[in-house]
Chain A
């Protein structure tokens, strides 16, 4: 099950302010606390943070809401939706130096990556968009050694952008 969290609504619940702007660390921490609480009580495996109604996001708040959530060690997989171009830039700027990455989901296109992801892991992610595969299959598809394919898939797993079972690796199903 996927839980969709409307971030602007969480902001409205957290602050009695009329704005749809996510600024300051204190605000970000409040919003993240509420998101973490929602995730804790939900029996979902994965959640999508929907930023569609958020008009502004500063770096401090992006760090508190997105980067700290990804670093928090909570067990749910997290993706982001509805980021317009400027918000996207802010999120990238806070994830990149911390070597974090997140899946961006779209209504009308496949998932993509945002943040710090090595080139091999990025190529592996693109392959997984076509469908799940084992290390050997990925190595074959990309003409890589098995070790290189394994390292790329493990990097995606480490960033919680992919998962694996007995049948191989897949992207996290956020839809």
Chain B
């Protein structure tokens, strides 16, 4: 017997939380039937999260979930050109009318389709592959200065390296620009989304940090230790600088970072957003999910 989990029509980061809450206990005891037929809009972050759910179930030796794909042509087409179905075919039993595999060139709003990250070489390819496009999108679409491209590539590289260095398994990355409807008056944003099905921040830092916090050691504490205090599980003095570098970059360009791990989500929130910095007691989801958002420059001062 399957357990039906609805994927919300607005499958953004909020919709993703609804989806996670719908899964319930982890790993799921029953086979999941993930119903995405009603999806009207989805973000790269939520698509990566969906793949991560499939990956985590497979790694937990669970039964392959069923996934009913969106009926909306535009959404299906978007999922196809982001190469979602190519990766999902291994992780889900897909149901519904699959679009033809996307054969055309990369769309102007996409810097990087969903790409697996398993090793350092993958990060090298990801960063090397987006350089030209990043320059075009950041300076053209988002009106940032040319030097913002370097920091963007750095943020992408350091975000992906968290998978390689800490997750203990593979993950996914995607980079896209789109109009941000919820805030910023519909202006454009560039988004780096990274997700893995690994051990998460709490377990990664447990051996070196848990004793400091005693009973207060939980997912939210681990995120604060890593993101705010810049602590790494490695004792090497040069470690833990990745998040510090990303935060400096985001501060300069009024960007936002949010990281979800286990049952908590921590965000460094810029003035244009009203997100809550720390949310705890969320439904559990495996691994870590990171989202970096860079707004177009004309919105930065708002």
Q: Which of A51-91 contact B (CB under 8 A)?
A: 55-56, 58-60, 63-64, 67-68, 85-86, 90
User: Nearest chain A CB to B222's CB is how many angstroms away?
Assistant: 20
In B108-139, which residues have CB < 8 Å from any A CB?
119-121, 123-125, 127-128, 131
Q: Which residue of A lies closest to B148 (CB)?
A: A86
Inter-chain contact A21/B124, CB cutoff 8 Å: yes
A60→B248 contact, CB < 8 A: no
Q: Kindly state the separation between the CA atoms of A18 and B164 in the bound complex, as whole angstroms.
A: 21
Band of interface residues on B? 20 to 34
8 Å CB contact of A17 from B124, B131, B158: B124
Nearest opposing residue in chain B for A56, CB measure: B153
CB of A161 within 8 A of chain B? Answer: no
Which of B67-75, B202-210, B235-243, B293-301 binds A?
B235-243
Mostly, the B contact residues are helix
- Within 8 Å by CB of A94, from B121, B124, B164, B241, lies B241
- Answer whether residue B225 sits at the interface, using C-beta atoms and an 8 A cutoff: no
Q: Distance in Å from the Cβ of A26 to the closest Cβ of chain B? A: 4
| A contact residues around B124 at 8 Å (CB) | 15, 17, 19, 21, 23-24, 27
B147 pairs with A60, CB closer than 8 A: no
Given contact pairs A25-B161, A93-B248, A97-B241, A56 touches B120 in the complex (Cβ within 8 A): no
Q: What bracket does the count of chain A residues touching chain B fall in?
A: 20 to 34
> What per-residue 1/0 map shows which CB atoms of B144-168 lie under 8 Å from chain A?
0001001101100110010011000
Contacts A55-B131, A59-B245, A86-B147; is A21 near B154 (CB within 8 Å)? no
Which among B121, B151, B157, B237 is the interface contact of A60 at CB below 8 angstroms?
B157
Q: Which of A21, A25, A27, A85 lies in contact with B165, CB distance below 8 A?
A: A25
